[in-house]
């Protein structure tokens, strides 16, 4: 069932640049036009093109998204003077582009259906790092003039769980390219309704012929498999519900909200479930979701909540590890800071790639140690990787602590 899709299956061409002041300052900008667009000819051609459906997506410093729909026109402003071409990309006014500032990253992508997508992200933000990770060519810098990648140059960019997740932020569903295996089995097994999150995670894991021994390979594979199966099953449920119709627009909106809320909630539970599977496979002892001070509930306490509660102050920091688990960080990573006051250093597992240097520094200064699959760690800048643990390193450290505590108890 594993799919070896490449980026060019979803994107025919992509161009990146940093916004200039002349494009963003209302006093000096050419309204609703992007500059430095001549390289776009390699992607859009030389003939005039109308794009009646353009998806605009703007991220802010906290990874919150403003999305809008509009149109765009690609044309030569000096079409009557072949020797003096001046190409322009004009776009309709929209809320997403109105928030772009000088220095922000701008991405223009020609999608597989020939629609355009224009995305932006502030300089230094996580979203900028993610977009650059996915689209930027390795051999050239991003400047105020567009750098273009054609489909040919993206045909060897194989998608992983990490890169599929970034595409998902851009509302490009790279998971649907998987063939529809197991759908009939899921319908028969679950009766057309969604099972509990632990049951679904168990089912997803059992569909894999083999789970790699390396936890850094196993976790992305488990997450990818569950995401694929979930979306496949969710699609059939949504189609059935849509076929039945809605009594009002409000009812439809509420149903759409419930789908998104369930998707986000389930992803978080799936992450915890698959981490727990890997920890158990490695013979680790842990308490999952126990209650600590002020009725806080950390995701994992190693080796147990009993050890956390009963070990002397001088020992609890040596033998007890507290781990939070969040598929994405944003500002929510700070929630783990007061979940277990007896342990000063907190660990946080995530699968969010390309965290910014600023965010990594903030976590380090707050006493948070990140735990990520190795393929995610490699998306962080080299000088920021050392404090970050991959899963194998984290598990080895837990085993050492567990052995040390067992030896202390025996003596």
CA pseudo-torsion sign 57, 232, 130, 74:
negative
Domains of the chain: 7-169 (2.40.330), 183-274 (3.40.91.80), 287-410 (3.40.91.80)
The catalytic residue among 87, 91, 233, 308 is 308
Identify the pLDDT of residue 84. 65
pLDDT in the model for residue 31: 64
Spatial CB neighbours of 365, under 8 Å, sequence gap ≥ 6: none
Residue 179 is predicted with a pLDDT of 54
* Torsion over CA: 97, 9, 227, 217 (sign): negative
- Taking the model in full, what pTM does it have? 0.85
Instruction: Give me the pLDDT at residue 237, please.
Output: 82
Instruction: Kindly list the distances between the CA atom of residue 310 and the CA atoms of 79, 261, 305, 320, 363, in Å, as whole numbers in the listed order.
Output: 79, 38, 9, 11, 28
User: pLDDT value at position 212?
Assistant: 97
For residue 303, whether the previous peptide bond is cis, meaning omega lies within 30 degrees of 0, is: yes
Q: What pLDDT score does 106 carry? A: 95
* Predicted local distance difference test score (pLDDT) of residue 250: 85
What's the pLDDT at 29?
Answer: 57
Residue 308 catalytic?
A: yes
pLDDT at position 217: 97
What pLDDT is stored for residue 81 in this prediction? Answer: 62
CB 171 within 8 A of CB 115: no
Structure tokens at 163: 């890169």
Residue by residue, pLDDT tens for the chain (411 residues) are: 445 789 999 999 999 999 988 887 666 555 688 887 889 999 999 899 999 999 999 999 877 899 999 999 998 877 666 666 778 899 999 999 988 999 999 999 999 999 999 999 999 888 998 999 899 877 677 888 899 998 998 988 888 888 988 998 898 988 765 556 688 899 899 988 889 999 999 999 999 999 999 999 999 999 999 999 998 888 888 888 888 888 888 888 888 888 888 888 899 999 999 999 999 999 999 999 999 998 999 999 999 999 999 999 999 999 999 999 999 887 789 999 999 999 999 999 999 998 888 889 999 999 999 999 999 999 888 888 888 999 999 999 999 999 999 877 543
Percent of the chain with pLDDT over 90: 58
Query: Any bridge partners for residue 108, and if so which?
Result: 15, 118
Q: How far is C-alpha 17 from the geometric centre of its chain's CA atoms? A: 22
Residue 83: what pLDDT? 62
Check residue 374 and give its pLDDT. Answer: 96
């Amino acid at each position: 069932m594993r799919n070896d899709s490449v980026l060019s299956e979803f994107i025919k061409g992509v161009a990146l640049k940093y916004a200039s002041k002349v494009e963003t300052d209302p006093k000096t900008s050419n309204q609703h036009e992007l500059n430095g667009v001549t390289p776009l000819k390699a992607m859009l051609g030389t003939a005039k093109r109308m794009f009646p459906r353009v998806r605009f997506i703007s991220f802010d410093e906290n990874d919150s998204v403003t999305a809008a729909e509009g149109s765009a026109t690609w044309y030569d402003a000096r079409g009557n003077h072949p020797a003096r071409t001046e190409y322009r990309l004009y776009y309709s006014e929209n809320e997403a582009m109105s928030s772009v500032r000088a220095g922000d990253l701008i991405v223009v992508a020609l999608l597989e259906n020939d629609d355009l997508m224009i995305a932006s992200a502030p300089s230094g933000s996580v979203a900028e790092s993610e977009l650059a990770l996915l689209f930027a060519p390795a051999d050239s810098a991003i400047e105020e003039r567009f750098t273009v990648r054609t489909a040919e140059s993206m045909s060897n960019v194989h998608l992983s769980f990490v890169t599929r997740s970034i595409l998902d932020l851009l509302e490009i569903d790279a998971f649907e390219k998987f063939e529809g295996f197991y759908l009939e089995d899921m319908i028969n097994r679950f009766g057309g309704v969604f099972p509990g999150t632990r049951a679904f995670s168990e089912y997803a894991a059992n569909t894999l012929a083999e789970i790699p021994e390396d936890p850094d390979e196993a976790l992305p594979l488990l997450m990818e498999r569950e995401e694929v199966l979930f979306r496949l099953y969710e699609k059939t449920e949504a189609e059935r519900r849509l076929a039945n119709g809605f009594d009002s627009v409000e009812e439809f909106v509420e149903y759409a909200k419930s789908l998104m809320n369930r998707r986000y909630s389930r992803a978080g539970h799936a992450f915890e479930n698959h981490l727990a599977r890997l920890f158990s496979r490695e013979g680790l002892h842990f308490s999952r979701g126990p209650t600590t001070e002020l009725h806080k509930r950390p995701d994992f306490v190693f080796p147990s909540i009993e050890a956390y509660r009963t070990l002397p102050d001088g020992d609890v920091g040596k033998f007890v590890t507290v781990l939070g688990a969040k598929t994405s960080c944003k500002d929510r990573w700070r929630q783990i800071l007061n979940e277990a006051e007896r342990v000063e250093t907190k660990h946080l597992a995530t699968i969010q790639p390309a965290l910014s240097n600023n965010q990594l520094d903030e976590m380090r200064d707050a006493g948070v140690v990140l735990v990520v699959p190795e393929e995610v760690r490699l998306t962080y800048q080299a000088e920021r990787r050392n404090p970050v643990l991959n899963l194998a390193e984290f598990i080895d450290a837990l085993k050492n602590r567990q052995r040390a505590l067992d030896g202390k108890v025996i003596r």
